[in-house]
Structures are given as C-alpha cells and as structure tokens.
Structure 1
Amino acid sequence: MYSSHSSASMLSDVFETGKFTTQLQTIDSPVDVPPPKPLLIATPLEAGDFPVLLFLHGYLLSNSFYSQLILHVASHGFIVIAPQLYTVAGPDISDEIHSAAAITNWLGEGLSRYLPPNVKSNCSKLALGGHSRGGKTTFAVALKKLNTITNLKFSALIGIDPVDGMDKGKQTPPPVLTYIPHSFDFDIPAMVIGSDLGELKKNPLFPPCAPKGVNHKDFFDECPKPSWHFVAKDYGHLDMLDDDTKGIRGKFTYCLCKNGESRKPMRRFVGGAIVAFLKAYLLADDRDLIAIRDGHKNMPLDLKTIECYV
C-alpha cells in the first residue's frame, strides 16, 4: 500500500479547486446544430483555448451526479462534456458506443455555440473518459467496437472503475476484455482508477458493483504503453459522485455499492488524478502525475495500488 503520508516531491494543487472560475450548463432543448444527446457542460469562464474531455456516466446514473467532479476538472483549464446517454438501458452498450461517437463527431461543429464568450475548445487535444459502464464504453470506442469511426482523434483515455459485466465469462455485449495482457489495440495513453471496495458486496441481495474478473485490474492489464493504474484504498465504486445525488436514482447510489466514509476524498482524488493525467498527455506537463506515482503527503486518500506501464 502507498500511503498519502509518504514523503515525495511536492504536488501542485490538482486535488484542490483550480484557478479558473467555472460554469455548468445543461443543453437539452432543440437549437441550431443540436447535440445528439442532452449534455452537461463544465467550462472555465476566463478567455482561453482549452482541451476537451468527453466523460460518460455510469450505469443508470444521471450525468448531473458528476457535477462536482467535472467542475473540479474544468477549474484547472479543461472543458468537460458529460452527455446523458440514456435513462433506461439493458445490458448491451451498443447504443452508447454509437452515441459517444456521434457526440464526438458533433463537437467540432456544434460545441462552440454553447461556450462562454472568448472560451474556445481545442478539439485537437481531446480525451475520452467514463465511469463504470461508461468506462467500458470509453474503451469500446477507442477499440472501434462495432466499426465505430470518429472524425476527431482521442489523445488520452480515462476509465474510472470500469466494469465489463457481471463476471469473467459473463461480460455484457459487446465484450471488451480479452484476458490477453496488453492486447488493447490502440496507441492512446490510458489511465485506470479503481476502488478498493468496488469488488465487495454491499449486501447479499446484490452483486458487487465492480466484480473481480471484469474490473479496473483487468482493464489495466490489457492496456498498452503508456498506461497508469491507481486504486483508492477504503473507497467504493460510487464514491466519486456528488455529495448529494437527487431523486430515486440518487438515493440508490448510497444503497447498491459498498461505500467509504464520505465521497469528498475519493472525488478529490479522482478529479486531481484526471487533471494530472490530462496535463501530462494533453499539455506535456507530467510533474503532477509523476508526483502522484511517487506518493504525496497531501493526497486526500491512501492508495492501495500504484502501477505504471510506460
């Protein structure tokens, strides 16, 4: 285990709110060049040319449950697009793959209409990420499952506790994992963040939210170079969500998965790790990512696992 109290080079403020003022807006009504799906967009308000992260929500979750997380990332100088891919869905993620590709293809033409004055998106520096089922969809799009083609190139991939089904041999279609080390056929830097408690049952009536055999470890094992893997000790599969998730679905987020003591530390870590990873591979500044790898006394939680394949 790597302790957050271990000595290492000083990390910058990636785990704290960044220097940019932010705005969160919802786009769900028909307009000129409408997005393929309703969107939640977190942006800086200061003038600038900012990289873009397309972030896909987890199974049966609302994109709004990630508001605090994506605002954290935006405050460090990134535009974050969080679509609502569906409200009801079966096990097959084919529709999500097609929707993620369609949104990606819309970004170049449509996104600028929804940005604050003097805020510009730099889609040549584009990352794709997702949580849980959205993490699986992220890798499926990168792997061009279902022959999906995008007109923009992804420069970084992020899987937050990705899940490929119920168990090895019980993957949801289309399956992503092959169980062949480093077999993912893409040349994109990848980061996988896992939760220590995700593979444990909350109660006997429900399966674990991130079961062994189809979770973060298996995704990282199949990533090519360069790839990074961090596992948060004593935190669960949904602990990066907002402190207060509304509605019936929001209440279920406290019941279905084994959780840590509170959500803020996990959310701060995930947000900071995303920022550090994007800075490394979109902005050519890897100091914060290296500092996380080496341990840092001011991290908001302890890490059970730190791995890099570079």
Structure 2
Amino acid sequence: MATTHYFLVLWLACCSVALAKNLFPTEDFNDRLIDPFSPGEYPINHTAYRQALSLFLDTNIDVYAPNATGNFPVFYFITGFGGLVPAEAHTELFSQIATHGIVVVAVWKVGSPETSFDPAWFAANVDFVEKRLENSLHNQEGYVSDFHVDYLHSFIGGHSAGNHAAVAQLQTDCLHYQGLILVDAVDGNSPFPENVTKYVITPGEKVNFTIPTLEIVTGLDPVPGPYGIACAPEELAGRRFFDAMTGPTWYVNATAYGHADLMDPVYVELNELAQFCPSDPNAPKPEYIQFLTGEIISFINGVLDPVGNCALFDYLETSGHVGVNTENDYVSNGWQRCTPLQCVLTPSSRSFLSLW
C-alpha cells in the first residue's frame, strides 16, 4: 500500500507539472557529427497533440522537431510506466536530440499501462505521423515549407516499461523502423517478478525480429529503493533484453546513474523527495542528458549510414564521454561491421544477416 501511495504521489506531481534540411543536407554533416554529445545546430519547436482534442489519436503525442529545411527521420519514444509518464518530463532530452535533425515523437497516455502490451495501442500514432503530422506542422505550427518528416527512416524505443510497447510493435511488424533504442528497459506488467503475467521477452529465447539495437541502462537500475522494490529489477531488465536480440546490439551501462536521472530537473527533484528510484546526488544530471543524446545520435546516424558513419559506433563501445563512466558490451549476431542493415521479422532461431 505504501508503495502504491508514493507512486501515485509521484505520478500526480509529474502530471500537474506537465499539464500546468534533410538529415544530411550539407557538406558539413560530418563536421557536425564530430561531437554528437554537444547540442546540434537546428532550431526546434515543441508541439503537443492531446487525445481529448484529436479525432485521430488514442494517445497523447509531444513532437520535438527541427523547424528547418530538410528530410528528418523519426524517433518514436514511449514514456515510462508503459506510456503513463507525461512526455514533458523529458523535454531537455528530447529537445537536445531534435537539435541534431531528428523528429522526436513522444507517446504517452493516461490509462492502464497493461494496454500498451497490445500492438494496436500504438498503431494510430504511426498512422498520424505518416499521414498527418507534416501537414499539421506546416499549417498550424508555421514550419518552413521545405521541412519534411522522413517517416521511411524511423526508430522506436522508450524509457523503462515503455520499452515493452516498442518491442511488442516489432514482434508484429517492422514497418519503417531502422533501429530499436532501449533506455532502462523493463519487462512485465508488475514491478515484482513473481507477479508478472504479461511480458514481451522470454528468458532463454530470442525475439522474432532482427534489428540494430542500442540498450542503455544505469548502475542503480536494479537497486531496491526504501520501499523494497527496484525500478528495474534485474530479472526483468538489463541483460534480459540484450540476450534476446538477434541483430547487432550495443549495451551501455552508465554505472553512477539511476533510473529517473534522464528526466528534467523538477522531476528528478520529485523523485528524490519521493525516494522512488535510487539516485546519486553527486552524479551530475546535465552531463547525463548530454551523454544520452550523444549515444542516441551516434546510434541513429551510424545505422542510417553505416558505411560513411561507421566510426560513430565507437562511441557506443567506449567509456568516459562527457565524463560519464560506462561498462560497455557488444554482440554482432552475425552482422558484418560497417555494412547496411535493416529490420526483418525472423524465426527465433535465425541469426542476423546483412540485407542490402
């Protein structure tokens, strides 16, 4: 009961705060990627689409996108607690990612997190992005005329239990997804492993899709808080996802950080007050946001052009970027480094092959 109470307090506080060019457009593209951990050059806008005000959405969508000339790939991000956390809790992270030429589509919904295990939960979001988003940003938000949403090059992922929604999507269809980005991924419909009745990963088995994957975790993820539960129990998180993948997969553990440290400062403070997810007050949070941005941008641009940008994968395999120490792992699963790749649905026993 105490755990439920504190979770509700934290979630309601979050909600109250939240509610109160071309990707490669010029010859200086490689110059901008020399340091993916620094802010990008694109001006960005934030646009909120709310379920209650839309005829086309069953969820809420927050779009952080470059208001500039170009064709910009999409990163779908499902928030924590299976999409229950308001997207505005991650404004700093999403904004920094968008400055590098990415359309961040953050998806969340007030409702039962269990519904996010159903792939249909997410379908309307993809349909909206592919058919309506670009026109909406042009007509209602004043985006420049040569801004284009490149939904043919999309990535999907999320934070915490939002990641089971991303994996559920890929278990059904690759659509236009180029890569999977898991941040503090947690499986299951309960924080108590013994009570889990729904899940997307079966330990010891491989998933039925093959896609490049970046998994970022924190050292404090599996550490229980004062109420006796961990925000990412070891049995439901971390290696559970890494071991199940069949494509090239990078594993990055930011050892000094905690599960909620990627959130905006006010939410980090709320977490510290509620003592919900363990966090080290001496670990600088702005640097962690820079670090996450750099890792994600390195992965996205490496996957989009693995021949020209193969060196970016080195950032996923080395420690110390922006002063953040990491433990790194990587498995190729048969991928030949620096060759093009794409998502395919595969039998669970089939290994990864380069496809282009």
User: Shorter-normalised TM-score: what interval?
Assistant: 0.7 to 0.9
Match of 1:171 among 170, 173, 196: 196
Shift of 1:191: 1.1
Paired with 1:253 and 1:155, the residues of 2 have a C-alpha distance of: 36
Paired with 2:248 and 2:129, the residues of 1 have a C-alpha distance of: 26
Paired with 2:136 and 2:261, the residues of 1 have a C-alpha distance of: 30
Q: Is the 8 A contact 1:239 1:262 kept in 2?
A: no
Shift of 1:34: 3.6
Q: Is the 8 A contact 1:164 1:172 kept in 2?
A: no
Match of 2:38 among 16, 23, 33: 16
Letter in 2 for 1:256: F
Aligned CA distance change for structure 1 residues 226 and 90 (closer, same or farther; 3 Å): closer
Q: Residue 135 of structure 1 aligns with which residue?
A: 163
Residue deviations 1:212-266, cap 9 Å, x none?
Answer: 11102110111112111111011011111112239xxx82475210113342222
Residue deviations 1:183-226, cap 9 Å, x none?
Answer: 111121111111110100121x2400000111021101111121
Paired with 2:150 and 2:115, the residues of 1 have a C-alpha distance of: 32
Percent sequence identity over aligned pairs: 22
Q: Residue 148 of structure 2 aligns with which residue?
A: 120
Residue deviations 1:94-133, cap 9 Å, x none?
Answer: 35x3222221122211111233222101111011111101
Matched, 1:256 2:276: yes
Residue deviations 1:63-88, cap 9 Å, x none?
Answer: 1111111111111111010122x224
TM-score (norm 2): 0.74
Match of 1:153 among 168, 176, 181: 176
Counterparts of 1:46-57 in structure 2, within 5 Å, are 46-57=68-79
Letter in 1 for 2:183: I
Q: Residue 5 of structure 1 aligns with which residue?
A: none
Paired with 1:211 and 1:82, the residues of 2 have a C-alpha distance of: 24
Paired with 1:70 and 1:267, the residues of 2 have a C-alpha distance of: 9
Match of 1:68 among 79, 92, 114: 92
- What's the secondary structure of 1:299's corresponding residue? helix
Matched, 1:192 2:212: no
Q: Is the 8 A contact 2:116 2:122 kept in 1?
A: no
Q: Is the 8 A contact 2:291 2:321 kept in 1?
A: no
Paired with 2:215 and 2:195, the residues of 1 have a C-alpha distance of: 21
Shift of 1:92: 5.5
Q: Residue 8 of structure 1 aligns with which residue?
A: none
Taking CA–CA contacts closer than 8 Å with sequence separation of 6 or more, which of the two structures ends up with the larger relative contact order?
Answer: 1
Residue deviations 1:152-207, cap 9 Å, x none?
Answer: 3211111111111335554352x1121125x111121111111110100121x240
Aligned CA distance change for structure 1 residues 133 and 232 (closer, same or farther; 3 Å): same
- Asked which structure has the greater CA Rg, the reply is 2
Counterparts of 1:1-310 in structure 2, within 5 Å, are 12-28=34-50, 30=53, 34-59=56-81, 60-84=84-108, 86-91=109-114, 93-94=116-117, 97-115=119-137, 116-117=143-144, 118-144=146-172, 152-165=175-188, 166=191, 168-173=193-198, 175-180=199-204, 183-203=206-226, 205-245=227-267, 251-252=270-271, 255-260=275-280, 261-284=283-306, 285-295=309-319, 297-309=320-332, 310=335
Q: Is the 8 A contact 1:22 1:44 kept in 2?
A: yes
- What's the secondary structure of 2:317's corresponding residue? helix
Residue deviations 1:252-286, cap 9 Å, x none?
Answer: 47521011334222222222111111101124323
Letter in 2 for 1:24: H
Paired with 1:106 and 1:226, the residues of 2 have a C-alpha distance of: 30
Q: Is the 8 A contact 1:163 1:215 kept in 2?
A: yes
Q: Is the 8 A contact 1:196 1:304 kept in 2?
A: no
Aligned CA distance change for structure 1 residues 41 and 172 (closer, same or farther; 3 Å): farther
Instruction: Say which structure is richer in helix.
Output: 2
Aligned residues: 285
Paired with 2:221 and 2:44, the residues of 1 have a C-alpha distance of: 31
Paired with 1:132 and 1:112, the residues of 2 have a C-alpha distance of: 29
Aligned CA distance change for structure 1 residues 30 and 283 (closer, same or farther; 3 Å): farther
Paired with 1:202 and 1:24, the residues of 2 have a C-alpha distance of: 34
Residue deviations 1:31-74, cap 9 Å, x none?
Answer: 6x643322110011111101001110001421111111111111
Letter in 2 for 1:137: A
| Structure 2 unaligned blocks of 5 or more | 1-32, 138-142, 336-356
Aligned CA distance change for structure 1 residues 180 and 107 (closer, same or farther; 3 Å): same
